Amino acid sequence: MKARSASMSMAVDSNDLQSALAEKGLAISISPEKGRCLIAKRSFTRGEIVLLQDPYVSVLDSASVNKRCDVCFRLCTNLKRCSVCKTTWYCGGTCQRNGWRLHQHECKAITSLKEEKQQTPTPSLQLMLRLLIKRKLQNAGFSCNAHTICDSELRPMGTGLYPVISIINHSCFPNAVLLFEGRQAVVRAVEPIREGSELTVSYIEIAASTASRKKSLKEQYFFDCKCLRCLKVDTPDGLHEDAILEGFRCSSDHCEGFLLHDPDDAQSLVCQLCGCGRNEEETKKQARKVDKLGKEASKLLSSGNYSEARSLYEQIQQLQTQLWHPYSVILLRTGDTLLKICMELYDWKQALKYCRLTIPAYERAYPTCHPMMGLQYYACGKLEWFLENTLEALNFFEKAAKILTVTHGRNSEFLTQLFDRIQEAHAEAAHLRPRYDDNED
């Protein structure tokens, strides 16, 4: 499997690539709106691996350099450093030997840069250097996007070039997910994929309104999205979805209706459930004030002033609750920020409160099988476990496992650890259950 995916990475436009893809049940096709795309030539079931690829070249980000092995990207406590350039670290002899073909050339360049300019190259410069060396060694033609390589909990750890993965187009409602095992890219189906359909992943955060998603894609990837979800923007379904994701709330505190423009008064929004009106300009004015507070809070957060940041974000959350729809992603993000701040402050109880609060909004904003949804259940589970709420922890771990089995794979190291935790929680729950049952009597 590895050998085949490696050969894919060397021959992007060749017949070799088409036949390697055909063996995997895939083919490259051309779409008038999107250019090249990958098409399924057989059906794939939910959770099935569609594509695996090692990077053509990769580099760790600065924060991971002396914590992870440069070749396999594993976290390791006793890494060995290259004795010549002293900037590249390996988990052992095997990885050092595997990396040597490329590193011997890079090592010379880094050493002379350090001698002449007293500088260590930045990760992006190092990635370019590796690309140039590899192209020279293989005499290969090349065009492809860079991918951020993340760990199982979606924390960035490096950058890599994956020529075949780069052929996959974006959708705001994708049928596959791209994750990494070490630095190997793994694409798994998150929906059943029928023969003849296009394989899609998401390039951006999809829990956002159509306008926000379009803006991100334009700013980061320079294209206008033509996916089905974006195309339904002006339909009743599309309007409803956007009005919840990033729309204002109904002026009645107890109503969860969504607002649309009043056809008779362009200045007003009207609740589609109870009919209450809301002045749009006035509400936007209040929202701008809250945005301003958000900028101050974000400065406090980046300077590490967690206590003050927390009280300002709490204030922001209260104001946002009066403005935005209860399931809006705006409230969800503030809840997530408060969760992270509480974790920094080791306030596990409050962290759990915020984590739990975000769950209903996550459930509405993400498709059922999305890694972010699985990881949020997992975060709740870990906090419940830490606070010794065994049954609640078990409930969240099981919800997380159902999704993460699909997105990360049952046999991944991450899932193995999660299933170990579930087993441990089951054992503890069985031990506790008689006491719970007694209390209920």
Ligand X SMILES: C[S@@+](CC[C@H](N)C(=O)[O-])C[C@H]1O[C@@H](n2cnc3c(N)ncnc32)[C@H](O)[C@@H]1O
Does 46 sit near ligand X (CB under 6 A)?
A: no
Does 169 sit near ligand X (CB under 6 A)?
A: yes
Does 220 sit near ligand X (CB under 6 A)?
A: no
In whole angstroms, how close is the CB of 180 to ligand X at the nearest point?
17
Token reading at 41: 């030539």
Is the CB of 35 or the CB of 360 nearer to ligand X?
35
At position 332, the amino acid (one-letter code) is L
The helix or strand, by DSSP H or E, that contains position 101, with its residue range, turns out to be: helix 93-117
Exactly one of 2, 22, 35, 289 binds ligand X (CB under 6 A); that residue is 35
Per-residue binding letters, 101-140, with ligand X (x by CB under 6 A): ----------------------------------------
Does 141 sit near ligand X (CB under 6 A)?
A: no
In whole angstroms, how close is the CB of 174 to ligand X at the nearest point?
10
Distances (CA, A) of 168 to 37, 40, 101, 165, 177: 6, 11, 30, 6, 11
In whole angstroms, how close is the CB of 412 to ligand X at the nearest point?
25
Is the CB of 163 or the CB of 335 nearer to ligand X?
163
Name the burial class of residue 286, with classes exposed (0-12), middle (13-18) and buried (19+) by CB atoms within 10 angstroms of its CB.
middle
Is the CB of 223 or the CB of 348 nearer to ligand X?
223
Spell out the residues 6+ positions from residue 294 whose beta carbon is closer than 8 angstroms to its own. 316
255 within 8 A of 330, measured Cβ to Cβ: no
Question: What gap in Å lies between CA 270 and CA 125, rounded to an integer?
Answer: 53
At position 48, the amino acid (one-letter code) is E
Q: How many CB atoms lie within 10 A of CB 108?
A: 12
- Mark the segment that binds ligand X (CB under 6 A) among 45-53, 224-232, 338-346, 379-387: 224-232
Is the CB of 36 or the CB of 364 nearer to ligand X?
36
Exactly one of 33, 237, 282, 291 binds ligand X (CB under 6 A); that residue is 33
Does 166 sit near ligand X (CB under 6 A)?
A: yes
Is the CB of 164 or the CB of 352 nearer to ligand X?
164
In whole angstroms, how close is the CB of 52 to ligand X at the nearest point?
18
Question: What gap in Å lies between CA 242 and CA 329, rounded to an integer?
Answer: 10
Does 145 sit near ligand X (CB under 6 A)?
A: yes
Name the burial class of residue 250, with classes exposed (0-12), middle (13-18) and buried (19+) by CB atoms within 10 angstroms of its CB.
buried
- Mark the segment that binds ligand X (CB under 6 A) among 33-41, 94-102, 177-185, 292-300: 33-41
In whole angstroms, how close is the CB of 36 to ligand X at the nearest point?
3
Distances (CA, A) of 393 to 129, 339, 361, 414: 47, 17, 20, 17
Exactly one of 225, 244, 355, 425 binds ligand X (CB under 6 A); that residue is 225
Does 221 sit near ligand X (CB under 6 A)?
A: yes
45 within 8 A of 199, measured Cβ to Cβ: no
Strand order across the beta sheet in which 49-53 lies: 49-53, 184-189, 176-181
Does 386 sit near ligand X (CB under 6 A)?
A: no
Is the CB of 65 or the CB of 225 nearer to ligand X?
225
Distance separating the N- and C-terminal Cα atoms of the chain? 57
- Mark the segment that binds ligand X (CB under 6 A) among 32-40, 64-72, 370-378, 401-409: 32-40
DSSP secondary structure letter of residue 197: P
Q: Judged by CB under 6 A, how many residues of this single chain contact ligand X? A: 16
Token reading at 250: 């109904």
Residue nearest to ligand X (CB): 35
Question: What gap in Å lies between CA 7 and CA 178, rounded to an integer?
Answer: 19
Question: What gap in Å lies between CA 71 and CA 337, rounded to an integer?
Answer: 33
In whole angstroms, how close is the CB of 193 to ligand X at the nearest point?
16
β-strands 200-201, 169-170 pairing: parallel
Does 229 sit near ligand X (CB under 6 A)?
A: no
376 within 8 A of 359, measured Cβ to Cβ: yes
Is the CB of 31 or the CB of 122 nearer to ligand X?
31
Interface ranges with ligand X (CB under 6 A): 33-37, 145, 166-167, 169-171, 221, 223, 225-227
